[in-house]
Amino acid sequence: MSALKNAWGKRGFRLGLIMLLIGFGMNGLALAQPGPDCGQAMAPQRCANYRQGWLSCNDLPDSAQRACTEAFTPALTCQRNRDNQACLALQAAQAACEGSQGLARRLCVRERLPLPDCSHAADQVRCQQRAMAERNCAESAGQSARECIRKALLPDGN
């Protein structure tokens, strides 16, 4: 610190410190914004869909936020999607849960999504158990969600 004071002088050091604090304050304000602003986006519909996924996952740490946002961001169109019904259901669920954020929004979306179709699964019972475990572990994300699902699928439930 004293080396900086000597290099900049007393006034320069204070000015630099104030600018640094203002910079941190502005970054804090940027994080408090309600998600991406899509008004000036080159692809406003894509931005709006990403914003829905971001609103669902904005309370999670960075390590889990990317995967969560990817899972909760609806596709632009469901025509080419492998599971057309699930894609349409996600779009409808995100629209129905407008106004909420974070965990409340994830839970709202999850309860509106249909369970996966297990009729073509090799092990239908296991498929249904996994679907229920994923639904019951919806409040967690990342490693904790994987751990929750793993524990729910253990034969003895522990």
Residue pLDDT, tens place only, 80-104: 888 888 899 999 999 999 999 998 9
Could you tell me which of 102, 107, 94 has the C-alpha nearest to residue 60?
102
- Contact between 128 and 96 under an 8 Å Cβ cutoff? The reply is no
pLDDT digits (tens, 9 = 90+) for 5-28: 454 455 554 544 454 444 444 333
Q: What is the pLDDT of residue 47?
A: 94
Give the per-residue pLDDT at 41: 87
SS3 158: coil
Tens of pLDDT, residue by residue over 25-78, are 433 333 444 567 888 889 999 999 999 999 999 998 888 888 889 989 999 999
Q: Which are the contacts of 8, defined by CB distance < 8 A and separation ≥ 6?
A: 15, 16
DSSP H or E stretch at residue 101? none
Could you give the CA distance from residue 142 to residue 140 in angstroms, rounded to a whole number? 7
Cα separation, 101 vs 72, in Å, equals 12
